[in-house]
Protein backbone atom coordinates (compact mmCIF):
# COMPACT_ATOMS: atom_id res chain seq x y z
CA UNK A 1 0.00 0.00 0.00
CA UNK A 2 1.33 3.39 -1.00
CA UNK A 3 1.02 6.06 1.66
CA UNK A 4 0.17 9.59 0.59
CA UNK A 5 2.90 12.20 0.75
CA UNK A 6 2.80 14.35 3.84
CA UNK A 7 1.47 17.96 3.27
CA UNK A 8 4.08 20.72 3.33
CA UNK A 9 3.66 22.95 6.34
CA UNK A 10 5.10 26.46 5.98
CA UNK A 11 7.60 27.44 8.53
CA UNK A 12 6.90 30.15 11.09
CA UNK A 13 9.40 32.43 9.32
CA UNK A 14 7.62 32.02 6.01
CA UNK A 15 4.26 32.77 7.59
CA UNK A 16 5.65 35.86 9.30
CA UNK A 17 7.28 37.08 6.10
CA UNK A 18 4.11 36.59 4.11
CA UNK A 19 2.10 38.50 6.75
CA UNK A 20 4.53 41.39 6.55
CA UNK A 21 4.32 41.53 2.78
CA UNK A 22 0.53 41.39 2.94
CA UNK A 23 0.52 44.36 5.33
CA UNK A 24 2.52 46.28 2.71
CA UNK A 25 0.04 45.28 0.00
CA UNK A 26 2.50 42.99 -1.75
CA UNK A 27 1.43 39.61 -2.96
CA UNK A 28 3.56 36.95 -1.39
CA UNK A 29 5.43 34.84 -3.86
CA UNK A 30 7.46 32.78 -1.48
CA UNK A 31 6.90 29.05 -1.78
CA UNK A 32 5.43 27.26 1.14
CA UNK A 33 8.17 24.75 1.64
CA UNK A 34 7.83 22.52 4.57
CA UNK A 35 11.45 22.69 5.07
CA UNK A 36 11.50 26.58 5.04
CA UNK A 37 13.16 29.05 2.68
CA UNK A 38 16.78 29.09 2.05
CA UNK A 39 18.90 31.98 3.22
CA UNK A 40 19.19 33.31 -0.33
CA UNK A 41 15.44 33.23 -0.76
CA UNK A 42 14.93 35.05 2.48
CA UNK A 43 17.42 37.75 1.52
CA UNK A 44 15.87 38.16 -1.90
CA UNK A 45 12.40 38.46 -0.39
CA UNK A 46 13.64 40.90 2.24
CA UNK A 47 15.39 43.02 -0.38
CA UNK A 48 12.27 43.04 -2.56
CA UNK A 49 10.11 44.04 0.41
CA UNK A 50 12.53 46.79 1.40
CA UNK A 51 12.69 48.12 -2.15
CA UNK A 52 8.93 48.07 -2.45
CA UNK A 53 8.52 49.78 0.90
CA UNK A 54 11.02 52.45 -0.14
CA UNK A 55 9.16 53.03 -3.40
CA UNK A 56 5.88 53.30 -1.52
CA UNK A 57 7.37 55.75 0.94
CA UNK A 58 8.81 57.79 -1.95
CA UNK A 59 5.43 57.70 -3.74
CA UNK A 60 3.64 58.86 -0.56
CA UNK A 61 6.19 61.64 -0.11
CA UNK A 62 5.84 62.65 -3.77
CA UNK A 63 2.06 62.65 -3.45
CA UNK A 64 2.29 64.82 -0.34
CA UNK A 65 4.68 67.18 -2.15
CA UNK A 66 2.37 67.35 -5.17
CA UNK A 67 -0.59 68.04 -2.89
CA UNK A 68 1.32 70.80 -1.14
CA UNK A 69 2.46 72.22 -4.47
CA UNK A 70 -1.13 72.11 -5.74
CA UNK A 71 -2.32 73.95 -2.62
CA UNK A 72 0.41 76.55 -3.11
CA UNK A 73 -0.55 76.96 -6.75
CA UNK A 74 -4.23 77.30 -5.87
CA UNK A 75 -3.41 79.89 -3.24
CA UNK A 76 -1.18 81.73 -5.68
CA UNK A 77 -3.92 81.64 -8.33
CA UNK A 78 -6.45 83.00 -5.82
CA UNK A 79 -4.04 85.77 -4.85
CA UNK A 80 -3.54 86.55 -8.52
CA UNK A 81 -7.29 86.64 -9.12
CA UNK A 82 -7.81 88.87 -6.09
CA UNK A 83 -4.99 91.18 -7.14
CA UNK A 84 -6.24 91.30 -10.72
CA UNK A 85 -9.79 92.09 -9.59
CA UNK A 86 -8.52 94.85 -7.32
CA UNK A 87 -6.35 96.28 -10.08
CA UNK A 88 -9.29 96.19 -12.48
CA UNK A 89 -11.58 97.83 -9.90
CA UNK A 90 -8.95 100.46 -9.11
CA UNK A 91 -8.41 101.08 -12.82
CA UNK A 92 -12.17 101.40 -13.41
CA UNK A 93 -12.52 103.79 -10.47
CA UNK A 94 -9.57 105.84 -11.68
CA UNK A 95 -10.94 105.87 -15.24
CA UNK A 96 -14.38 106.95 -14.02
CA UNK A 97 -12.84 109.67 -11.87
CA UNK A 98 -10.74 110.84 -14.80
CA UNK A 99 -13.75 110.79 -17.13
CA UNK A 100 -15.80 112.79 -14.62
CA UNK A 101 -12.95 115.24 -14.21
CA UNK A 102 -12.56 115.59 -17.97
CA UNK A 103 -16.31 116.04 -18.34
CA UNK A 104 -16.36 118.67 -15.64
CA UNK A 105 -13.39 120.36 -17.25
CA UNK A 106 -15.07 120.26 -20.65
CA UNK A 107 -18.25 121.71 -19.15
CA UNK A 108 -16.22 124.41 -17.42
CA UNK A 109 -14.39 125.19 -20.65
CA UNK A 110 -17.71 125.35 -22.50
CA UNK A 111 -19.09 127.68 -19.84
CA UNK A 112 -16.00 129.85 -20.05
CA UNK A 113 -16.27 129.96 -23.82
CA UNK A 114 -19.95 130.86 -23.60
CA UNK A 115 -19.23 133.48 -20.97
CA UNK A 116 -16.41 134.88 -23.10
CA UNK A 117 -18.63 134.92 -26.18
CA UNK A 118 -21.44 136.58 -24.22
CA UNK A 119 -19.01 139.11 -22.81
CA UNK A 120 -17.69 139.81 -26.29
CA UNK A 121 -21.23 140.23 -27.58
CA UNK A 122 -22.13 142.45 -24.65
CA UNK A 123 -19.00 144.51 -25.21
CA UNK A 124 -19.76 144.79 -28.92
CA UNK A 125 -23.38 145.67 -28.18
CA UNK A 126 -22.31 148.27 -25.64
CA UNK A 127 -20.29 150.00 -28.34
CA UNK A 128 -23.27 150.11 -30.69
CA UNK A 129 -25.33 153.24 -30.61
CA UNK A 130 -28.65 154.37 -31.97
CA UNK A 131 -29.68 157.93 -32.70
CA UNK A 132 -30.21 159.71 -29.36
CA UNK A 133 -33.70 160.36 -28.03
CA UNK A 134 -35.39 157.95 -30.44
CA UNK A 135 -36.27 155.23 -27.93
CA UNK A 136 -34.35 152.68 -30.01
CA UNK A 137 -32.05 149.90 -28.85
CA UNK A 138 -29.02 148.61 -30.78
CA UNK A 139 -29.25 145.02 -32.01
CA UNK A 140 -25.81 143.48 -32.65
CA UNK A 141 -25.10 141.47 -35.77
CA UNK A 142 -25.66 137.75 -35.43
CA UNK A 143 -26.80 134.48 -36.93
CA UNK A 144 -29.95 132.68 -35.77
CA UNK A 145 -32.29 129.89 -36.80
CA UNK A 146 -35.39 131.43 -38.31
CA UNK A 147 -38.75 129.68 -38.50
CA UNK A 148 -39.67 126.22 -37.30
CA UNK A 149 -39.83 122.76 -38.82
CA UNK A 150 -42.61 121.65 -36.46
CA UNK A 151 -45.19 124.43 -36.69
CA UNK A 152 -47.30 126.10 -39.40
CA UNK A 153 -46.41 125.74 -43.07
CA UNK A 154 -45.49 129.41 -43.45
CA UNK A 155 -42.86 128.98 -40.71
CA UNK A 156 -41.07 126.18 -42.56
CA UNK A 157 -38.37 125.22 -43.03
CA UNK A 158 -36.19 126.30 -40.14
CA UNK A 159 -33.12 127.90 -41.70
CA UNK A 160 -30.06 129.88 -40.69
CA UNK A 161 -30.13 133.64 -41.26
CA UNK A 162 -27.35 136.16 -40.78
CA UNK A 163 -28.47 139.61 -39.70
CA UNK A 164 -26.40 142.80 -39.76
CA UNK A 165 -26.42 145.14 -36.76
CA UNK A 166 -29.32 147.61 -36.67
CA UNK A 167 -31.50 149.63 -34.30
CA UNK A 168 -35.09 148.91 -33.32
CA UNK A 169 -37.74 150.66 -31.23
CA UNK A 170 -37.70 149.39 -27.66
CA UNK A 171 -41.51 149.53 -27.63
CA UNK A 172 -44.32 149.60 -30.12
CA UNK A 173 -45.06 153.08 -31.47
CA UNK A 174 -47.42 154.75 -29.00
CA UNK A 175 -50.48 156.86 -29.59
CA UNK A 176 -48.55 159.85 -28.20
CA UNK A 177 -45.67 159.42 -30.68
CA UNK A 178 -47.98 158.81 -33.61
CA UNK A 179 -50.19 161.81 -32.78
CA UNK A 180 -47.07 164.00 -32.67
CA UNK A 181 -46.25 162.89 -36.22
CA UNK A 182 -49.80 163.69 -37.32
CA UNK A 183 -49.38 167.20 -35.97
CA UNK A 184 -46.33 167.69 -38.21
CA UNK A 185 -48.41 166.81 -41.25
CA UNK A 186 -46.12 163.89 -42.13
CA UNK A 187 -48.56 161.23 -40.90
CA UNK A 188 -52.25 160.58 -41.49
CA UNK A 189 -54.44 160.17 -38.40
CA UNK A 190 -55.01 156.63 -37.18
CA UNK A 191 -58.39 155.25 -38.18
CA UNK A 192 -61.33 154.98 -35.84
CA UNK A 193 -62.65 151.86 -37.46
CA UNK A 194 -61.28 148.44 -38.22
CA UNK A 195 -61.37 146.64 -41.54
CA UNK A 196 -62.46 143.03 -41.18
CA UNK A 197 -63.32 141.44 -44.54
CA UNK A 198 -66.15 138.93 -44.29
CA UNK A 199 -67.43 140.24 -40.96
CA UNK A 200 -70.83 141.87 -40.50
CA UNK A 201 -71.24 145.58 -39.93
CA UNK A 202 -72.22 144.87 -36.33
CA UNK A 203 -69.01 142.90 -35.71
CA UNK A 204 -66.87 145.59 -37.34
CA UNK A 205 -68.60 148.26 -35.24
CA UNK A 206 -67.96 146.27 -32.07
CA UNK A 207 -64.32 145.77 -32.98
CA UNK A 208 -63.86 149.41 -33.88
CA UNK A 209 -64.63 150.44 -30.31
CA UNK A 210 -61.11 149.25 -29.45
CA UNK A 211 -59.39 151.61 -31.91
CA UNK A 212 -57.23 153.72 -29.59
CA UNK A 213 -57.80 156.84 -31.72
CA UNK A 214 -61.36 156.89 -30.34
CA UNK A 215 -60.33 156.67 -26.69
CA UNK A 216 -58.93 159.23 -24.29
CA UNK A 217 -56.10 158.38 -21.94
CA UNK A 218 -54.43 155.89 -24.30
CA UNK A 219 -51.33 157.99 -25.02
CA UNK A 220 -49.02 155.25 -23.66
CA UNK A 221 -50.84 152.44 -25.49
CA UNK A 222 -49.65 151.28 -28.94
CA UNK A 223 -51.23 152.97 -31.92
CA UNK A 224 -53.59 150.56 -33.72
CA UNK A 225 -56.07 150.69 -36.60
CA UNK A 226 -53.29 151.84 -38.95
CA UNK A 227 -52.55 150.21 -42.28
CA UNK A 228 -49.15 149.27 -43.71
CA UNK A 229 -48.80 152.50 -45.66
CA UNK A 230 -49.45 154.61 -42.56
CA UNK A 231 -46.88 152.61 -40.60
CA UNK A 232 -44.34 152.99 -43.41
CA UNK A 233 -44.95 156.76 -43.60
CA UNK A 234 -44.48 157.18 -39.84
CA UNK A 235 -41.13 155.35 -39.82
CA UNK A 236 -39.96 157.35 -42.83
CA UNK A 237 -40.85 160.59 -41.06
CA UNK A 238 -38.54 159.51 -38.23
CA UNK A 239 -35.72 158.76 -40.65
CA UNK A 240 -36.33 155.05 -40.05
CA UNK A 241 -38.15 152.16 -41.74
CA UNK A 242 -40.22 149.10 -40.93
CA UNK A 243 -38.08 146.08 -39.95
CA UNK A 244 -37.81 143.09 -42.25
CA UNK A 245 -39.32 139.85 -40.98
CA UNK A 246 -35.79 138.49 -40.48
CA UNK A 247 -34.80 141.48 -38.35
CA UNK A 248 -38.05 141.30 -36.39
CA UNK A 249 -37.69 137.59 -35.51
CA UNK A 250 -34.00 137.96 -34.66
CA UNK A 251 -34.76 140.89 -32.34
CA UNK A 252 -37.53 138.82 -30.69
CA UNK A 253 -35.70 135.51 -30.27
CA UNK A 254 -31.97 136.22 -30.24
CA UNK A 255 -29.44 133.55 -31.12
CA UNK A 256 -30.19 130.78 -28.61
CA UNK A 257 -33.18 129.26 -30.42
CA UNK A 258 -35.78 130.23 -27.83
CA UNK A 259 -39.43 129.86 -28.78
CA UNK A 260 -40.68 133.09 -27.22
CA UNK A 261 -38.97 136.41 -26.46
CA UNK A 262 -38.58 135.46 -22.77
CA UNK A 263 -37.47 131.87 -23.34
CA UNK A 264 -39.24 128.52 -23.79
CA UNK A 265 -41.81 128.66 -20.99
CA UNK A 266 -45.41 128.66 -22.17
CA UNK A 267 -47.04 132.11 -22.36
CA UNK A 268 -48.79 133.12 -19.17
CA UNK A 269 -48.28 136.46 -17.41
CA UNK A 270 -45.36 137.59 -19.57
CA UNK A 271 -47.53 139.47 -22.08
CA UNK A 272 -50.74 141.33 -22.83
CA UNK A 273 -53.06 138.67 -24.29
CA UNK A 274 -56.31 136.77 -23.80
CA UNK A 275 -54.79 133.48 -22.50
CA UNK A 276 -57.30 130.89 -23.68
CA UNK A 277 -60.16 133.33 -23.18
CA UNK A 278 -59.51 133.64 -19.44
CA UNK A 279 -58.48 137.28 -19.20
CA UNK A 280 -60.72 138.89 -21.79
CA UNK A 281 -58.90 142.24 -22.09
CA UNK A 282 -61.02 144.73 -24.00
CA UNK A 283 -58.13 146.71 -25.40
CA UNK A 284 -54.40 147.11 -25.73
CA UNK A 285 -52.09 147.52 -22.72
CA UNK A 286 -49.66 150.28 -21.83
CA UNK A 287 -46.44 149.56 -23.74
CA UNK A 288 -43.65 148.00 -21.70
CA UNK A 289 -45.99 146.80 -18.94
CA UNK A 290 -44.67 143.21 -19.07
CA UNK A 291 -40.92 143.50 -18.60
CA UNK A 292 -40.69 139.79 -17.75
CA UNK A 293 -41.57 139.14 -21.39
CA UNK A 294 -38.78 141.28 -22.86
CA UNK A 295 -36.63 139.86 -25.66
CA UNK A 296 -32.90 139.06 -25.23
CA UNK A 297 -32.11 142.54 -26.54
CA UNK A 298 -34.45 144.28 -24.11
CA UNK A 299 -37.33 144.93 -26.50
CA UNK A 300 -40.80 145.02 -24.93
CA UNK A 301 -44.04 143.50 -26.20
CA UNK A 302 -42.47 141.42 -28.97
CA UNK A 303 -45.29 139.01 -28.11
CA UNK A 304 -48.80 140.24 -27.35
CA UNK A 305 -50.33 143.72 -27.12
CA UNK A 306 -50.51 144.30 -30.91
CA UNK A 307 -49.34 142.44 -33.96
CA UNK A 308 -46.66 144.40 -35.82
CA UNK A 309 -46.24 145.27 -39.48
CA UNK A 310 -42.96 144.33 -41.18
CA UNK A 311 -41.65 145.47 -44.57
CA UNK A 312 -41.53 141.89 -45.90
CA UNK A 313 -43.92 140.38 -48.39
CA UNK A 314 -45.66 137.15 -47.44
CA UNK A 315 -44.92 133.64 -48.73
CA UNK A 316 -46.52 130.27 -48.07
CA UNK A 317 -43.14 129.02 -46.82
CA UNK A 318 -39.53 130.19 -46.81
CA UNK A 319 -38.57 128.31 -49.97
CA UNK A 320 -40.77 130.35 -52.32
CA UNK A 321 -40.62 133.97 -53.44
CA UNK A 322 -42.39 136.53 -51.28
CA UNK A 323 -45.45 138.35 -52.60
CA UNK A 324 -45.78 142.03 -51.62
CA UNK A 325 -49.54 141.94 -52.20
CA UNK A 326 -49.63 140.91 -48.54
CA UNK A 327 -47.22 141.96 -45.81
CA UNK A 328 -46.01 139.82 -42.93
CA UNK A 329 -47.18 140.75 -39.44
CA UNK A 330 -45.60 139.25 -36.33
CA UNK A 331 -46.00 138.99 -32.57
CA UNK A 332 -49.66 138.32 -31.74
CA UNK A 333 -52.12 140.71 -30.13
CA UNK A 334 -54.14 141.43 -27.01
CA UNK A 335 -57.12 139.44 -28.29
CA UNK A 336 -55.18 136.24 -29.00
CA UNK A 337 -55.55 133.30 -26.64
CA UNK A 338 -53.34 130.45 -27.91
CA UNK A 339 -49.55 130.10 -27.53
CA UNK A 340 -49.02 129.56 -31.26
CA UNK A 341 -50.60 132.91 -32.10
CA UNK A 342 -48.00 134.85 -30.12
CA UNK A 343 -45.02 133.18 -31.75
CA UNK A 344 -46.08 132.61 -35.36
CA UNK A 345 -46.34 134.76 -38.47
CA UNK A 346 -49.40 135.95 -40.33
CA UNK A 347 -50.11 138.31 -43.21
CA UNK A 348 -52.35 141.29 -43.95
CA UNK A 349 -53.01 143.18 -47.12
CA UNK A 350 -51.36 146.61 -46.84
CA UNK A 351 -54.70 148.45 -46.91
CA UNK A 352 -56.22 146.47 -44.05
CA UNK A 353 -56.18 147.61 -40.43
CA UNK A 354 -57.06 146.00 -37.13
CA UNK A 355 -57.56 146.84 -33.47
CA UNK A 356 -54.85 144.24 -32.74
CA UNK A 357 -52.30 145.56 -35.23
CA UNK A 358 -49.65 148.24 -34.78
CA UNK A 359 -45.93 148.53 -35.53
CA UNK A 360 -42.46 149.60 -34.46
CA UNK A 361 -39.59 151.02 -36.53
CA UNK A 362 -36.06 149.90 -37.31
CA UNK A 363 -33.08 151.81 -38.58
CA UNK A 364 -29.35 152.09 -38.99
CA UNK A 365 -26.81 152.42 -36.20
CA UNK A 366 -25.77 155.90 -35.16
CA UNK A 367 -22.25 156.72 -36.36
More confident of the two residues 36 and 241: 241
More confident of the two residues 271 and 278: 271
pLDDT of residue 26: 58
pLDDT of residue 188: 98
Q: How many other CB atoms are found less than 10 A from the CB of residue 228?
A: 23
Please give the Cα distance from 216 to 212 (Å, whole number). 8
Highest mean pLDDT among 17-21, 93-97, 129-133: 129-133
pLDDT of residue 30: 47
The strands making up 307-314's β-sheet, listed across from edge to edge, are 345-348, 323-330, 307-314, 357-358
pLDDT of residue 20: 62
Q: What is the pLDDT of residues 287-344, one digit of tens each?
A: 999 999 999 999 999 999 999 999 999 999 999 999 999 999 999 999 888 888 887 7
Instruction: Tell me the average pLDDT of the chain.
Output: 87
Length in residues, the chain: 367
Q: What is the pLDDT of residues 39-52, one digit of tens each?
A: 888 888 888 888 88
pLDDT at residue 7 tops 60: no
Q: What is the pLDDT of residues 64-78, one digit of tens each?
A: 888 888 888 888 888
- Tell me the backbone φ, ψ of residue 221, rounded to 5 degrees: -85, 160
- Tell me the backbone φ, ψ of residue 163, rounded to 5 degrees: -120, 130
Q: What is the pLDDT of residues 207-260, one digit of tens each?
A: 899 999 999 999 999 999 999 999 999 999 999 999 999 999 999 999 999 999
pLDDT of residue 127: 86
* Percentage of residues of the chain with pLDDT beyond 70: 88
Cis peptide before 157 (omega within 30 of 0): yes
More confident of the two residues 8 and 189: 189
Amino acid sequence: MIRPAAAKVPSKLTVALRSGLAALGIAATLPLAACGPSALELKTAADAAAETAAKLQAAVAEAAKLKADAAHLAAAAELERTATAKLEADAATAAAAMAAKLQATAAEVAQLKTAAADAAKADAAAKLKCKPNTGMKPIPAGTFTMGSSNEDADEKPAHSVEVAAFCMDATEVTMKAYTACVRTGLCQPAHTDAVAPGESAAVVAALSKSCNQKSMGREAHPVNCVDWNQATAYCKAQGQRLPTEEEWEYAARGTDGRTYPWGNDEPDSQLCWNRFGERKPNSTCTVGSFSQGNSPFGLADMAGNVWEWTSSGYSANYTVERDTAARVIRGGGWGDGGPSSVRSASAYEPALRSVSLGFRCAGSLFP
